[in-house]
Amino acid sequence: MLIAAVESSVVSVPFSMGGPHPLFAGQPWDRLEILLVRVETDDGLVGWGEAFGHAAIAATRAALDSIVAPLVVGRDAGDINELTRQVLHGVHLLGRNGPFVYAFSGVEIALWDLLGKRAGQPLWRLLGGSAPAPLDAYASLLSYGGDLELVARNTAEARARGYRHIKLHELTREAVLAAKAAAPDAAVMLDVNCAWTPPVARGKAAAMAGEGLLWLEEPVWPPEDTAGLASLRRYGIPLSAGENTAGLFGFRALIEAGAIDVAQPSVTKVGGVGEMKRVIALAQAHGVEVVPHSPYFGPGFVATLHIAAALIERPMIEVLWLDMEANPFDPWVRAEGGKVAVPSAPGLGCDPDPAILARYTKAPATRTEAKGEP
């Protein structure tokens, strides 16, 4: 079937996060926004995808509406590998990591949703998986800006809600100690979002080496400095990275540098389901664990569930620690008792609730149609 139309729209949901709302890329972050990609085939079937996201939404949406959607309408919706090669080659001069690849990721996820719906199979089955039990999740706490009292309170609350793994977005050893004191039987991870140059990062890693972190995430600036990241391996803290890594070959560079213990590809950024498959296979061939990056609450999150369930031996799903007022993809975007269930309906198995979608969609969708359509 041919792709008849691509629509972009933004769902915007108020949320609370157990502390003051932070800035994200310099913008106040007080609403959870999802860039939805709706792909329709000429027989009327609809697939849903999600493109990254957060403060990048306006840029990603522009890339989608102006360039990526016109490249895919009129094409065979089932020809995912060929479309991936052609579209990503077509836009490579515009950036190998950024809005154009994010936009294509959203389309690609929707194409897998369509493929599953057409086959009458859930995505985990298309990927060769068996019926998944609920997956372990970890609570990914947002930044409390070094407020140790908020770190401790939210860590304790996350543990009380069933999470056994808790990740902080903080910068200090003191924050790690506060979390460990608040939840002594939980594993703690620290994500510093590329805060330090390698010499500074080595000092921080040396200071935190004895604290039993499950992993230290993106300690080095810039994220493409694979040698700088690898220079932290001597301190014995497992290192993770990948949410800012460009595709399969970006991961190959990280892995060949010996820089990571845990690869964190992100389905709405890296190119979609197909690129996730390739990155996961590469990591597994090198004995590197995969824990996908998934701070999402739409089809990107649900696609991550299917991929992890089917392809990762011991999946662990990142769930942002926040409370949404509502979500059109409920209940699939929420954890219960530290676990997340995986849909078994065809495709992603999570079509949005039309009433909630209508209530929280910010503005009319932008629609790109195949030429010759009315």
- CA atoms within a 13 Å half-sphere pointing along the CA-CB vector of 220: 23
Does position 170 interact with Mg ion (CB under 5 A)? The reply is no
Q: How far is the CB of 105 from Mg ion (least distance, A)?
A: 17
Q: Say how far apart CA 361 and CA 299 lie, in whole Å.
A: 15
Binding track, positions 71-90, relative to Mg ion; x by CB under 5 A: --------------------
Which CB sits closer to Mg ion, 78 or 145?
Answer: 145
Stretch that binds Mg ion, among 69-77, 83-91, 188-196, 321-329 (CB under 5 A): 188-196
Give me the residue whose beta carbon is nearest to Mg ion: 191
List binders of Mg ion among 189-218 (CB under 5 A). Answer: 191
Q: How far is the CB of 276 from Mg ion (least distance, A)?
A: 16
**Least CB distance from residue 98 to Mg ion, whole Å?**
17
Q: Name residues whose C-beta falls within 8 Å of residue 184's C-beta, 6 or more positions apart in sequence.
A: none
Nearer to Mg ion, 25 or 285 (CB): 25
Instruction: CB nearer to Mg ion: give 60 or 264.
Output: 264
Counting residues that bind Mg ion (by CB under 5 A) gives: 1
| In the complex, minimum distance from the CB of residue 167 to Mg ion, in angstroms, rounded to a whole number | 8
Task: State in angstroms the smallest separation of the CB of 260 from Mg ion.
Answer: 13
Q: Which CB, 191 or 351, lies closer to Mg ion?
A: 191
Name which of 5 and 291 has its Cβ closer to Mg ion: 291
Binding piece for Mg ion, criterion CB under 5 A, among 26-34, 51-59, 99-107, 184-192: 184-192
Q: 240 vs 368, which CB is nearer to Mg ion?
A: 240
Pattern of binders to Mg ion over 124-153, x per CB under 5 A?
------------------------------
- Give contact residues for Mg ion (rule: CB under 5 A): 191
